[in-house]
Structure 1
Amino acid sequence: MTPTATAPSTEEPAARPRFGLGFAAVCGGMFLANLASGISSVAFPWLATSVTDSALLISGVAMLLELPWLLASLPAGVFIDRTNHRWTLAVTHVFRALVATGVALAVAFGSTPLALIYTVAFLIGSATVVNENTSQVVIPRLVPSSLLERANGYLVMTDTVGGLFIGPWLGGLLLGSSLMLPFVFEGGLFGLAAALMVFVVLAPRNRDRPKRTVRAEMAEGLRYFWNHRQLRTLGLFLGLLNLSSAIAVSTQVLFAQTILGLGAAQFGLLFLAGGVGAMLGAWLTSTLERRLGARRILLISLAGNAATSLAIGVASNAVVVAVAIAGGGMLSTIWNVLTVSYRQRIVPEEMMGRVNSIYRLLAWGPLPLGSVLGGLIVTGSEVLTDREFGLRTPLILAALIATVLTVIGFSKLKDGIWSPDYHAGSEPAGQPGEETSGQPGGEK
């Protein structure tokens, strides 16, 4: 029997999904903006130390940088759902560039009272709330669903590396040359981030919905979020972790000066190691999720958070602290990539801004409270004991909070994203007000 000839196929293989120019612009802008914010995180407290040496007053700077997450998140979510995302990103970048430039001029003229530092910190923090929420909301409009983990890995890496590690290091380096220089760089970086938004092109959204009050739309988002058990749990957990982190970080500049004996440049360099950890976490998330599952990764992140806080709290060596910060950077990046992708998949597009803002309100809203508590804890502890023990106390407390959350996660949370059978990309899409389990069942 003669074999039948098979005609060559004329169909082209399906193109692999890829990132476009718009995503690259948003990611690049987010990196530059977070680099600027990282400079702020060092420069503003250091500027405050030129005015006062009170731990409580210095912690107020960190508190006001983060207070807008508590005050502005809910109305910001409604604003984001109603507005043009591209213009929102551009305008918030430009606003922060102008404010940072104003601070540089004030430093140059020798007029930086604490009230000015507080006011500027609050203004920059307010614009950051709107900008960062919009950056997360816009990603599902720029990349296919199959690339969400990778896309969010890049975004979380730029946030962590730029904002928490390279930015503080660069801020410390610049402070070693001039008190004004960090704010000049900060303004320039925000300006460059705004310029990149020219390359962001978004398809029109369907905004044909009945006009309602801001209060009604906020209530709708709140109902959806609170009725979704997994989102609610993740938000509460992250809020407590960030509360403990803010308690520790608010007086970190004093910890570095008093216990580690670091100068400004060395203080910034201390955090550069964390950038390596964050990059490693972003690259490993997808692989670890496939091999270990989301539940194990989340629990390891909780336990690791406790271990790193404890290690820093008992250490007196800058190298040990740097290694612990690197580990914390890796674990926090992995946690964020998984949970942000989960949120982007299950929340309806028309409600993404509100639900994302509510989640981040719970996650970031405790930061100003934690900053104040950190200052109070150090002030109270050093009165009862000494300054060194007072500066270590917030880190020990942070480790204790993370340990309690780890125990709860192991013993109580076993469904949805916490299920042993859960894998990223298997979330069923929920409707407003409907609680979804997050169990495997196909993406819709």
Structure 2
Amino acid sequence: MVAIGTLAIAAVNTLLPLYAVEVLSMGPVEVSTLLVVLASGTLLGTWIAPRASRRWGDGPVMVAGMGVNGVGIALIGLVPTATAAWSGNALIGIGLGLWNVLSAARRQRLTPATAMGRVSGAYRVVAWGLMPIGAAAAGSIAAVTSLGTPLVLAGAVTLVAVTALAVPLLRTGTDAPRQQEGRPAASRQVQRWAIRARQSVQGRRPDRSPSRARNSEPPSTPARDGLPVPDARGEPPRRGRDARRHRAVR
């Protein structure tokens, strides 16, 4: 799916400026607004992605995002008007925002920690390495047919790929693997050392159990009507240092 999306976006990036000038008769300012609309749609898609994922799940939102992307690309080539170009770029941006956010999050969640660098590197090789191929293919097709034909083909191929890969995307598990499986041996050894150190420190601490705490409390003085009972001289009982001084004087 990443390869198909990369080829389609490369075709759009290559042909859109020329298509806007020669087919849509846009000026320099109007051509720049196409990129503004595309970027705004991407920001909107990134804002929608986590909220939609919490409600419907990652898989359905990713499929919808790539489908919206394909519809936007095909719309630009099928309807040669400025309004269709702006609308198509907005749809492309929304679809890219939905796909990029959730695909990156899912890749990081499902990849073990020890393989994260290799998986991310392979993903970037596919995502960036196929752009020259997509640009060259789009230019070759446009030279033989028209500027709008490669855009229509790119959108159609994207929709076909989404339809074919929708079931695997929806079926892919969203639960992250256990961190212990991908944790290096050194990290597990450090964790064991930390547990042993904590246990040794806790073993030297005094016992704070409730039974010992109750035994260490001074005996309570019998009370009568909620008041301490006076001694033989009629004085209230003393505790602590005052009690020791009182006994010494007596």
Same fold (TM over 0.5): yes
Whole-Å Cα distance in 2 between the matches of residues 263 and 282 of structure 1?
30
Q: For residues 79 and 178 of structure 2, what CA distance do their matches in structure 1 show? A: 46
Relative to structure 2, which stretch is displaced further, 408-417 or 321-330?
A: 408-417
- From 404, 410, 420, the equivalent of 2:160 is 404
Q: Is the 8 A contact 2:62 2:103 kept in 1?
A: no
Distance 2:134 2:161 in 1: 17
Structure 2: 5+ residue stretches without partners: 183-250
User: Alignment partner of 1:250: what SS?
Assistant: helix
SS of residue paired to 1:410: helix
**1:246 maps to what in 2?**
10
Distance in 1, Cα, partners of 2:110 & 2:168: 23
Q: Equivalents in 1 of 2:118, 2:168: separation in Å?
A: 28
Q: 2:70 touches 2:159 (CA, 8 Å); kept in 1?
A: yes
Residue 272 in 1 paired to residue 28 in 2? no
Distance 1:336 1:374, change over 3 A: same
Give, in whole Å, the separation in 1 of the partners of 2:166 and 2:111.
26
TM-aligned CA deviation for residue 350 of structure 1:
4.8
**Match in the other structure for 1:391:** 147
CA displacement, residues 420-440 of structure 1 (integer Å, 9 cap, x when unaligned): xx4xxx3214757xxxxxxxx
Residues 1:357 and 2:113 aligned together: no
Equivalent residues of 2:76, 2:151 under 8 A apart: yes
Could you say which residue in structure 1 is the equivalent of 2:69? 305
CA separation of 1:415/1:287 partners in 2, compared to 1, >3 Å: closer, same or farther?
Answer: same
Specify the alignment match of 1:202 in structure 2.
none
Q: Which of these residues, 82, 86, 94, is aligned with residue 318 of structure 1?
A: 82
Q: Is the 8 A contact 2:69 2:93 kept in 1?
A: no
Q: Is 1:345 the equivalent of 2:109? A: yes
Secondary structure of 1:428 counterpart: coil
Cα displacement string for residues 215-243 of structure 1 (whole angstroms, at most 9, x for unaligned residues): xxxxxxxxxxxxxxxxxxxxxx1111111
**Which structure has the greater CA radius of gyration?**
2
Identity across the alignment (%): 28
CA deviations 1:120-139 (Å, max 9, x no partner) are: xxxxxxxxxxxxxxxxxxxx
Q: Distance in 2 between matches of 1:244 and 1:275?
A: 17
Partner of 2:172: 416
2: CA distance, partners of 1:412 / 1:356: 20
Alignment deviations for residues 341-400 of structure 1 (CA, whole Å, 9 cap, x no partner): 12223334454333211012122221110111111111111xxxxxxxx10011111111
Instruction: Work out the number of aligned pairs and report it.
Output: 181
Q: C-alpha distance in 2, partners of 1:405/1:290? A: 25
Query: Any conservation in 2 of the 1:255–1:391 contact (CA below 8 Å)?
Result: yes
CA distance in structure 2 between the partners assigned to 1:334 and 1:302 by the alignment: 8
Distance 1:322 1:429, change over 3 A: farther
**Aligned AA for 2:31?**
F
Cα distance in 1 for residues equivalent to 2:6 and 2:56:
25
Letter in 2 for 1:315: V
- Which of 171, 177, 180 is the matching residue for 1:428? 177
Q: Distance in 2 between matches of 1:272 and 1:258?
A: 20
**Partner letter of residue 397 of structure 1?**
L
**TM-score calculated relative to the size of structure 1:** 0.38
- In structure 1, list runs of 5 or more residues that go unmatched: 1-236, 382-389, 433-444
Q: CA deviation at 1:249?
A: 2.4
Cα 1:288–1:412 change in 2 (3 A) is: closer
Q: Which residue of 2 aligns with 1:374?
A: 138
* Secondary structure at 1:261 match in 2: coil
Question: What CA deviation, in whole Å up to 9, does each residue of 1:292-346 have, x standing for no partner?
Answer: 1112112212221221111111122222211221121111111111111122233
Distance 1:413 1:335, change over 3 A: closer
The CA RMSD over aligned residues, in Å, is 2.0
Q: Distance between the aligned counterparts of 1:249 and 1:428, measured in 2? A: 37
Aligned-partner SS, 1:260? coil
Q: In the aligned structure 1, how far is the partner of 2:110 from the partner of 2:56?
A: 22
User: Which letter maps to 1:408?
Assistant: A
